[in-house]
Amino acid sequence: MEACKAFDGNYWKTLFDSRIGKTTWPYWSDVWSKKEWVLPEIDSDDIVSGFEGNSNMCWAERFGKQLVNRLRKMARPVVGVGCALTRDTPAALSAYYASAGIPSIVFLPTNKISMAQLVQPIANGAFVLSLDTGFDGCIQLVTEVTAELPIYLANSLNSLRLERAEGQKTVAIEILQQFDWEVPD
């Protein structure tokens, strides 16, 4: 609290903003970029960090509109989208479709998911079904439901999903940027 009182808000904003995206130790971590508020008395040499935080927040409105346009062009009317739990799919699906104003339904296996996997789609307004089955059972059910109802299946292979390999290609560039474009031996 003393550190907060020592300077005004503009000082802190300028300081913290100056550290975003930098590779200077230990400020490259989103946690330690606010070291003065987290643990001001620790020496930087005593910090252990793995570049925590810095998960980019982005406006999904443009993506939502593109998805809406794509769904409207489909041969059959679609009133929502559905998926079964696969890593972070429900969180991403519910966020994108919520921004587009399209209802989403998520099928999750009961007692086999983390609290974050449950909370994220709920927080984005998804209708979440907790089913007494495993992942394969959830996939089977969402596939059957989307085949019968005007709900678009958003798992795995579909025309709206960018395949994971395409996104992974950007990792090399991110690594280079974080090394200030100097390739290590």
- 161 and 133 assigned to the same domain: yes
**Is 176 inside any structural domain?**
no
pLDDT given for residue 114 in this prediction: 84
Over residues 27-50, the mean pLDDT reads 82
Per-residue model confidence (pLDDT) at position 107? 92
As a whole number, the mean pLDDT across the chain is 77
Residue 41 located in a structural domain: yes
Cis peptide leading into residue 150 (ω within 30°): no
Clarify whether residues 12 and 85 are in a common domain. Answer: no
Threshold 0.85, pTM exceeds: no
pLDDT in tens, 116-164: 888 889 998 999 998 999 888 998 999 899 888 888 888 765 554 544 5
The more confidently predicted of residues 145 and 86 is: 145
Which of 1-15, 50-64, 104-118 shows the highest mean pLDDT? 104-118
**Token code pair at residue 63:** 């993506």
How much is the pLDDT for 141?
92
The Cα–Cα gap between 128 and 121 comes to: 7
The label of the residue with tokens 């998520």 reads 106
- The CATH number for 98's domain is 3.40.50.1100
Highest mean pLDDT among 43-47, 50-54, 141-145, 169-173: 141-145
> Do 78 and 129 fall within a single domain?
yes
Range of the domain at 40: 2-46
Q: Do 67 and 147 sit in the same domain of this protein?
A: yes
Range picked from 14-18, 66-70, 74-78, 174-178 for highest mean pLDDT: 14-18
Give me the pLDDT at residue 36, please: 85
- Would you tell me how many other CB atoms lie within 10 Å of the CB of residue 31? 18
User: Residue 56: what pLDDT?
Assistant: 59
Residue 67 and residue 79: Cα distance in Å, rounded? 13
DSSP string, 47-96: --------PPP---HHHHHHHHHHHHTSSS--SEEEEE--TTHHHHHHHH
For range 156-177, the mean pLDDT: 56
| 51 vs 140, residue with greater confidence | 140
| Count: domains in the chain | 2
Name the amino acid, one letter, at 107. Answer: F
What is the structure's pLDDT at 171?
61
